[in-house]
Amino acid sequence: MNKNNSLEVIKDCTTYIKNHLQDTLTAESLASRYGYSLYHFCHIFKICCDMSPGKYIRLLRLEKAKKDILSGMSITQAGFDNGFETSSGFSKAFRKEYGISAREYLKQNKESEVLIMLHVEIKTLQSQTALGYEIPGEYDSDYSKSGAYWNHINFKEYPAYPEGIHDYGEVGLWTHPDHISGELHYFFGFLTDSTDSTEIPDGFHKVEIPAGRYAVFTIKSQETPEKVADAVRNGWRYVFTEWLCTQKEYKISHQGMCFECYQGEEAYLYLPVIDL
């Protein structure tokens, strides 16, 4: 596979998708358009965008529909104008993606724009240690849902942070503590320079964040925890549906960890990357 040619194909394809959201778009028709087998096309699309073509199309349509709804378009028309054949199909897809109905979304007047600074830095990180809570959760491979999962947790059920341990900000991420079943758990805790396993307090677990290069996105400060959570989820959605698919230099690295870091009023998204 010529990776440079494949990258150009997927870049052109994502542009084509954005310009034809009202048309009938399928992975099969897109593969045919670019002269690939369905398997080969889906494979390189997944590598470049970290999601399937169908999921990418659905997310873009829903994002466009959200903006149309906030601009004053009726919910039914927003669905039809963005490629959904029935109002019930649009309603189901909207609720599945955002956890609320389109009508509830409009009532709450949530922001439709991605609430992140478009500036991104590429940083080389040393390995870092975090101590915190290991929490069973319902992970969704869509980071726009599983991001900021701390917002679903009642931390009163967990022990308070120990005194006397310096922390350098809080982190949230998903881990594989059970390597046999592959079950995912959510981890939330604080970065620390304490690395001695004997110092782990009762009720806490340790996670090592791998060293490597990371793309770091800054989330704008928000007024409430709920708005922070929304901004973080919108940020992840931008990272996976926009930034990765238009990259000329980097792709996601599966040797690192995607994680969120919270320092005071600032929040940051960390995406492990390697050269294309």
What is the rounded average pLDDT for all residues in the chain? Answer: 83
Cα–Cα distance list, 28 to 32, 53, 75 (Å): 6, 10, 29
The pLDDT tens digits of the residues spanning 232-254 come to: 888 888 888 788 888 888 999 98
Give the count of beta carbons closer than 10 Å to the beta carbon of residue 61.
Answer: 23
Domain 118-275 has CATH 3.20.80.10: yes
Cα separation, 189 vs 272, in Å, equals: 20
Domain boundaries defined on the chain: 3-108, 118-275
Q: What is the pLDDT of residue 175?
A: 82
* Residue 118: Cβ-neighbour burial (10 angstroms; 0-12, 13-18, 19+): exposed
pTM exceeding 0.95: no
Q: What is the pLDDT of residue 141?
A: 54
Q: What is the CA radius of gyration of the chain?
A: 20
The pLDDT tens digits of the residues spanning 50-71 come to: 888 999 999 999 999 988 888 7
Top-tier CATH class for 3-108: mainly alpha
The pLDDT tens digits of the residues spanning 203-230 come to: 888 999 999 999 999 988 788 888 888 8
Nearest to 225, CA basis, from 193, 269, 254, 265: 265
